[in-house]
Structure 1
Amino acid sequence: MDKRQVVFGMLGTQLDTGSGPKRWEKWRPTVALGMHEDFVPDRVELLLDERRFGKLATQVCEDLVQMAPDTVVHRHDVYMADPWEFEGVYACLHDFLAAYPFAPDEEDYYIHITTGTHVSQICWFLLTESRHFPGRLLQTSPPRKQDSDQAGTYALIDLDLSRYDRIAQRFAQQQLQDRDLLKSGIATRNAAFNRMIEQIEIVATRSRAPMLLTGPTGAGKSHLARRVFDLKKLKHQLPGRFVEVNCATLRGDGAMSTLFGHTKGAYTGAASDRAGLLRSAHQGLLFLDEIGELGLDEQAMLLRALEDKRFLPVGSDREVESDFQLIAGTNRDLQEAVRAGRFREDLLARLNLWTYQLPGLAQRREDIEPNLAFELERFSREQHQQVRFNAEARARYLSFATGADAAWAGNFRDLGASVMRLATLANAGRIQTEGVEEEIGRLRQQWAGGVMPSPLDALLGDAVQELDRFDRVQLEEVVRVCAQAKSLSAAGRELFAVSRTQRASTNDADRLRKYLARFGLDWEQVRGARS
């Protein structure tokens, strides 16, 4: 069974007017709804102010039914104090739709947007796009001058944009560009990181709620916060500035003054008024890095500023306003800080709506190669000097950088500094293998205070990169035991302590010797690992 066609519309207090026989010579949009051969509504829901326009509505309804006898017209008395006041018009139409008994399984619905004020047309559009109205828009137009048919033309508009391939493609392309901006154009390969960026792009575009970025130092929290600001600025969502402060640098009385400002004479040395960073970030984005280092008093003031957009500068008895978006960064466990009494639970609850854990570089080894290219290109652009790896040097650096022995304790800061050193020392703009070997030595020495290089590096050199991870872990343990054992037999007895009990005759030393030989090693070499 075909669905019934139901049209909602406002009475056109100007366009629908007309009296006497000559009214039929004029195009009247509501009456014209009944003149189209291929689209005749079964029912028209007509909204009007009965007190002011009841007489006009009666004439329009009679003429519409004369054109389409099978069309039923329902009149709805709606009162709008000011039809040009957006909030009142939207509330009136919203309440009307909320109370209407829609039956979408049996009827198709249309909003006639040709009549009514521009404000009501905008409200109809918003209510349809947000699915408060379960239907489509109906736009009618008057006939051309040379046409004798007074019906004019009509067009149906479906606001489900996913139905329009070219629009959907454009939105998809824009999303990719926005995500590319958040990643600074780096073609990252880590699936978990890319999924996180996809969600951050959606949240950054749709929300002004605080965001919390966690992760180790150097993981890129500050960089990502600035990219979020750039994205929102591009979409005209934040007309203000990007303001960044590392909370670990704020100490004592200066912390309150730096964040919230002060008045002249508020304390010794306060020679003039100071706005403070929160006011500087008005209508912009404030990035508080290492927020876990803030004192409890500063945390309380920050919570008030987030909730009320108001706060007291130091030494002032008059509140000031600042409407900013906050992104906070930390490498601490704030839940643990709450349990220890070092961080306010209510502030964490306010920050914790959108929390994202940025992985360190060691957890994104597949992203080292594209980030290496990005850092090298950035150096070339900033120094106005083209620098490139030769093929062997690039392969050697990536082999080391993506290997399990590269600690990347400082994450992307380590990588950026490493590329800067390589590029600065490169002769004639070419990074050679010798320079890479020197740089690998620097990095190993730099990380020696944290994750020590594997003894396999000294024993096997570059060949260590050819080992499967399982073999590498197993061989490292064998080398460790051998380095501490007094003899080959003693090392064998410790390594094969379980399996030797299941054998009638054992030669642990020979068994260990054959195992080491698989990797081109002998007992004397391995004993040297002790030093």
Structure 2
Amino acid sequence: MKKNVVIGFLGTNLDAGKRRRWRPSVQIAQHSDFPIARLELLHGRRWSGLAQKIKAEVEGNNPQTEVLLQELEVRDPWDFEEVYGAMYDFARDYGFDYEREDYHVHLTTGTHVAQICWFLLTEARHIPAKLVQTGPPRGELEGPGTLQVVDLDLSKYNALQQRFDLVTKEYNTLLKGGIDTRNAAFNTMIDRMEVVTSNSDAPLLLMGPTGTGKSDLAARLYELKLQRRRIKGRLVHVNCSTLKGERAMSTLFGHRRHAIPGAGADRSGLLREADGGVLFLDEIDELGLDEQAMILHAIETGKYFPLGSDYEVTSRFHLIAGASRDLAEMVAAGRFRADLFARLNLWTFTLPALRDRPEDIPPNIAFEMDRVEKLLGNRITFNADALTAYQKFATDPSTLWAGNFRDLSASVQRMCTLAPQGRITLSMVHTEIETITAIWHNASRDPDMQLLRSLLGSKANDIDEFDRVQLAAVIRACQQSASLSAAGRRLFAASRATKTSRNDADRLRKYLDRFGLEWATCRE
């Protein structure tokens, strides 16, 4: 049997017995069901006399208990920093013998500051002990009083552990949007994401093809941070692919009046709006190198310069970044800053494509059905044979799902909208399969997509439709122009008159760089 060792402060009021006969440091050794082999009493120099008196009384009444007096000098017992430092030094120098002794910290004596320090040191395992709380006899004049032992190892409390498990499950359900996902790798990723989000303020990087749900997941991560009280501010969603030209800096970081042409008033910028909350930089791989540098500075320092300002602005936010392209490849190609990538890459989560999660397609179909029902205000169901046929098509490895969950959502919405009397029939499923297959086929035959694929390969699939048309037009202009400057003059003829800088070649070069393209490549 291990021996019980109790460590506690001398009670300068209670142990002196001035107000009542019950004295905690004396009575704690009188519990027959809690034998104490050694009682360590901490006290200041001025209380040495009282400490000696308590030692003699305890050892006289309880021969099996040895009392050791430990002098611990604290000038101000209500100074948290001083008290914690002194107690930490005591714990660090104490020779704990885990094999032979069980340690207990007596919380009843000492100031409230000392009691808080005991708890912190014990909870952090600087003192490998359980907590002991004692009290005077209840309804009696004599006796040792009450004694309660509290073990801070929460895993031993089944009811508490079940509550923690339930809360964790609720958080995971939140991150999954209430969908009962079955893909083991995805569920493991969500479990890890919940732990990181609940315990870290570091940036999160969400990778994955377009349509895999990065924006929805970022919103759920924000809700989780809000519930865990890690943030108080709002979620600011920025689609970096829409930040083009000279106004990208102004949109992100704000500007002072007249800092850019036509700016008649100050603008706070999106980073300022995210102060205290979450900044979601979707498609961060679309940001230019200058913007990347300022974002990195803002992440690391919480400060940045608005355009035209001589003074830094403070904005503390949690960052979530989304990217569809491989940032490591972009770093190697010089199109993404290595230092920013290193800062973002601490916690990276890659969302798999829909076709890589076939077991999650049925619950996502059910989720989309519920969503569309609320949108349309009608109850809609599949006929049994129709559901079987659609799920077979949806989970077939040959089914493209080029747009991932966006394609699935659009497909379900089409069938629900056209369903007569709220029933989706087998013939409707066949029609929808023909429709969505034709959409994918036409996209592959689209001359714009053919042009982009010839230059970008499979990465062309990750470009949004409204960007495809513009990029294809730019490439054709490059192919039809004799030089980069000539292509720039053609493309920016309407807007160049309003620009202070008319370096059309540089503007075109930066635009092409967003997609990893160069003038020579387009010409080829």
Q: TM-score scaled to structure 1, two decimals? A: 0.80
Q: Equivalent residue for 1:508? A: none
Candidates 45, 62, 65, aligned match of 2:59: 65
The yes-or-no answer on 1:35 pairing with 2:30 is: yes
Alignment RMSD (CA, Å): 1.9
2:91 maps to amino acid: L
Structure 1 position 374, deviation (Å): 0.3
Q: Distance in 2 between matches of 1:395 and 1:133?
A: 61
Shift of 1:318: 1.2
Offset of 1:212 from its aligned partner?
0.8
1:46 aligns with 2:41: yes
C-alpha displacement of 1:148? 3.2
Q: What is residue 21 of structure 2 aligned with on the other side?
A: 26
Match of 2:381 among 388, 391, 399: 388
Quote the offset at 1:198 in angstroms: 0.8
**2: CA distance, partners of 1:116 / 1:172:** 36
Other-structure match for 2:94: 100
After the TM superposition, which of the residue ranges 78-87 and 244-253 deviates more from structure 2? Answer: 78-87
Aligned counterpart, 2:238: 245
Q: What's 2:140 paired with?
A: 147
- How far the C-alpha of 1:406 sits from its partner, in A, is 1.2
State yes or no: 1:161 paired with 2:160. no
Counterpart contact for 1:407–1:451, Cα < 8 Å? no
Comparing 55-64 with 172-181, greater Cα deviation is found at: 55-64
Give me the whole-angstrom Cα distance separating, in 2, the residues matched to 1:307 and 1:343: 17
Structure 1 residue matching 2:134: 3-state secondary structure = strand
- 1:292: which partner in 2? 285
Letter paired with 1:74: L
Residue type of the partner of 1:13? T
Q: Deviations over 1:435-480 (max 9, x none)?
A: 212211111011115679xxxxxxxxxxxxxxxxxxxxxxxxxxxx
The more displaced of 432-441 and 240-249 is: 432-441
On the 8 A contact 1:40/1:68 being kept in 2, the answer is: no
CA distance in 1: counterparts of 2:56 and 2:259, whole angstroms: 77
Instruction: State the distance in 2 between where 1:381 and 1:118 align.
Output: 55
Matched residue type, 1:38 = D
- 1:259 corresponding residue in structure 2: 252
Q: Secondary structure at the match of 1:428?
A: helix
The verdict on how the C-alpha distance between 1:418 and 1:255 changes in structure 2, with shifts beyond 3 A counting, is: same
Deviates more, 1:270-279 or 1:334-343: 270-279
What SS does the aligned partner of 2:420 have?
Answer: coil
Aligned partner letter, 1:59: K
1:417 and 2:410 equivalent?
yes
Residues 324, 77 of structure 1: alpha-carbon distance in 2 compared, 3 angstrom cutoff: farther
Name structure 1 gaps, 5 residues minimum: 453-531
Aligned equivalents of 1:273, 1:50: Cα separation in 2? 64
Shift, 1:370, TM fit? 0.0
Any idea what the Cα deviations from partners look like across 1:12-59, whole Å, max 9, x if unmatched? 23332336xxx7x521212222221221321122223324x3343333
Q: Residue 64 and residue 219 in structure 1: after superposition, are their counterparts in 2 closer, same or farther (change >3 A)?
A: same
Give the structure 2 partner of residue 122 of structure 1. 116
Q: 1:84 to 1:385 in 2, by over 3 A?
A: farther
Whether 1:7 and 2:6 are equivalent positions in the alignment is yes
Does the C-alpha gap of structure 1 residues 107 and 278 become closer, same or farther in structure 2, counting only changes over 3 Å?
same
List per-residue Cα deviations over 1:490-531 (Å, max 9, x = no partner): xxxxxxxxxxxxxxxxxxxxxxxxxxxxxxxxxxxxxxxxxx
* Stretch of structure 1 that moved more, 371-380 or 60-69: 60-69
Matched, 1:178 2:177: no
Larger CA deviation: 66-75 vs 328-337: 66-75
The residue type equivalent to 2:11 in the other structure is G
AA aligned to 1:92 is: A
- Return the offset for 1:118: 2.6
Q: Partners in 2 of 1:269 and 1:348 — Cα distance?
A: 34
Alignment deviations for residues 161-197 of structure 1 (CA, whole Å, 9 cap, x no partner): 1111111111111111111111011010111101111
Compute the displacement of 1:85 (Å).
Answer: 4.2
1:125-524 alignment runs, 5 A limit: 125-144=119-138, 146-449=139-442
User: What are the superposed Cα offsets for residues 363-403 of structure 1, whole Å, 9 maximum, x if unpaired?
Assistant: 00110100000011011123322221121211111111111
Letter in 1 for 2:312: E
SS in 1 for 2:90: helix
Paired amino acid for 1:161: L
Distance 1:68 1:191, change over 3 A: same
Deviations 1:61-87 (A, max 9, x none): 333333323322233333445444444
User: In the alignment, what sits opposite 2:477?
Assistant: none
- Kept in 2, the 8 Å contact 1:242–1:286? The answer is yes
1:100-131, CA deviations, whole angstroms, 9 ceiling, x for partnerless residues? Answer: 21110111001111122333323322322222
2: distance between equivalents of 1:328 and 1:440? 34
Identity of aligned residues (%): 52
Q: Distance in 1 between matches of 2:49 and 2:64?
A: 22
Specify the SS of the correspondent of 1:209: coil
Cα deviation digits, residues 338-372 of structure 1 (max 9, x gap)? 11111111111111111111100010011010000
376-385 or 193-202: bigger deviation: 376-385
Separation in structure 1 between the aligned mates of residue 75 and residue 222 of structure 2, nearest angstrom: 41
Relative distance call for 1:118 and 1:449 in structure 2 (3 A) is: farther
Query: Could you tell me how far 1:428 is from its partner in structure 2?
Result: 1.7
| Distance verdict in 2 for CA 1:120–1:446, change over 3 Å | farther
Find the aligned partners of 2:442 and 2:127 in 1 and give their Cα distance: 65
Distance between the aligned counterparts of 1:87 and 1:303, measured in 2? Answer: 35
Give the AA of the match of 1:136: K
Q: Distance in 2 between matches of 1:87 and 1:283?
A: 28
Q: 1:266 to 1:74 in 2, by over 3 A?
A: farther
CA distance in 2, matches of 1:438, 1:308: 56
Aligned to 1:472: none
Structure 2, unpaired ranges of 5+: 446-524
Q: Aligned equivalents of 2:120 and 2:173: distance in 1?
A: 30
Report how far residue 96 of structure 1 moved: 2.4
